[in-house]
Amino acid sequence: MSTFLIVEDDALHRSFLREVITRSDLGCTRLVEAEDGEQAIRLAREVEPKGIVLDLQMPKKTGVQAAKAIWADDPTMPILFWSNYADEAYVRGITKIVPACATYGYLLKTSSKERLLRSIQCVFVEGQNIVDREIRGVQQRGAGQTEGLSEAEYEVLLDIAIGLTDQAIANHRGISLRSVQGRLQQLYAKLGLDEIPLIAGRTAEFNSRSRAVAVALMSRLINGRSIEAADSDYRRAMTDLGRNGEAAK
């Protein structure tokens, strides 16, 4: 007997997934459903499914956070990510937490029923990893060095996106103030802020710092959720540091 877990907050998509999986030839005998990230983590532990279909955008906990917790329990758990967007923030989040041995897939919700079925087969039965073509594009852009931001630049981007000052970033990342500014300069360059700003007149039209966040949002490098995540990360780091005192210094 094999049981599967589907995690999806939208009732419509949930019932769609349910139908596709039960009609597949997975030999699925039990289907468990969750509506948010916390439920997902709990149920994954309780029912020990043979595979999980996981939405990324959910209340309580992100799909990425849920996957991280689930893989912490069992790094071999096959997970098929199932998302609305190919935003870089999501892709980057996933590639950062996936264990070496994990089998997973990443599919967009716009995929046809056939492709979904095929992917379920691939990931849950044959143990292959598959990633949607649209997402591949983002991934390469992220990993490659021609376009795309380095890890350091991405970090500093999130830091200014949550509103930190240069000094606060320096403390947070453990580097000097001038280094922060150096990284910011690189970031601005890569986002192309040095190209457009001086069109309209005599004085600078854009504030580099704010503009960087804007273009990052518009080009889907980050989104509202990644900002929330970064904010709570930072908040947690601060309180931890507060408890340990300045000893870590």
Partner DNA sequence: GACGCCGTTGCGGGAACCCGCAATTCCGTT
Partner DNA sequence: AACGGAATTGCGGGTTCCCGCAACGGCGTC
Q: Is 60 in the site for a copy of itself (CB under 8 A)?
A: no
Going by their DSSP bridges, the two strands 2-7 and 28-34 should be labelled as parallel
Task: Decide if 47 contacts 96 (C-beta within 8 A).
Answer: no
Comparing CB distances to a copy of itself, the nearer of 59 and 127 is 59
Task: Give the residue from 62, 65, 190, 85 showing the smallest Cα distance to 138.
Answer: 85
- Would you call 127 exposed, middle or buried from its count of C-beta atoms within 10 A (0-12, 13-18, 19+)? exposed
> Which one of a copy of itself, DNA, none is in contact with 3 (Cβ closer than 5 to 8 A by kind)?
none
As a whole number of angstroms, the distance between CA 157 and CA 209 comes to: 9
Lookup result for tokens 């349910």: 18
The residue (of 41 and 213) whose beta carbon lies closer to a copy of itself is 213
Binder of a copy of itself out of 210, 236, 240, 244 (CB under 8 A): 210
Among 72, 143, 189, 200, binds a copy of itself (CB under 8 A): 200
Q: State the binding partner of 183 from DNA, a copy of itself, none, CB within 5 to 8 A by kind.
A: DNA
**C-alpha pair distances (Å), 132 with each of 89, 105, 111, 114:** 16, 8, 9, 13
- By CB under 8 A, name the one of 167, 176, 185, 244 that touches a copy of itself: 167
Least distance from C-beta 229 to DNA, angstroms?
21
The count of other CB atoms within 10 Å of the CB of residue 28 is: 20
To the nearest whole angstrom, how small is the minimum distance from the Cβ of residue 182 to DNA?
A: 4
What does the binding site for DNA look like in residue numbers (CB under 7 A)?
A: 150, 152, 165-167, 175-179, 181-186, 188, 193-194, 203-204, 207-209
129, 119 Cβ separation under 8 angstroms: no
Q: Does 107 bind a copy of itself (CB under 8 A)?
A: no
Backbone angles phi, psi at 29, to 5 degrees: -105, -20
Q: Is 161 in the site for a copy of itself (CB under 8 A)?
A: yes
Residues lying near a copy of itself in the complex (CB under 8 A): 10-13, 16, 109-110, 160-165, 167-168, 199-200, 203-215, 217-218, 220, 223-224, 227-228, 231, 238, 242
